[in-house]
Amino acid sequence: MRDTKHLEKHSNKVAEKQKEKLLFRTQRKAVEAGAHGTLDYTIKEGVNKDKVADDKIIKNKK
């Protein structure tokens, strides 16, 4: 009797976690590239002032 209660409780918990993961995956939204200034950042100080930070400028920094 006692063993079946624990097994049922565990299986219900596992099923609920699986359902929660599935719902979380389906409700996730895609990220918009460049939404909050992450793309085309303008440099404000230094030699490259007022230039857009792209591959050319970033490669020179390495």
Each residue's pLDDT, cut to its tens digit, for the chain (62 residues) gives 678 999 999 999 999 999 998 888 777 777 666 666 566 777 888 887 888 877 666 665 54
Return the C-alpha torsion angle 16, 19, 25, 27, nearest 10: -100
- H helix intervals, the chain: 2-26, 55-61
- Does pTM surpass 0.75? no
Q: What are the distances in angstroms from CA 61 to CA 44, 47, 54, 58?
A: 16, 12, 11, 5
The one-letter code for the residue type at 57 is: I
User: 48 is written with which tokens?
Assistant: 């490259």
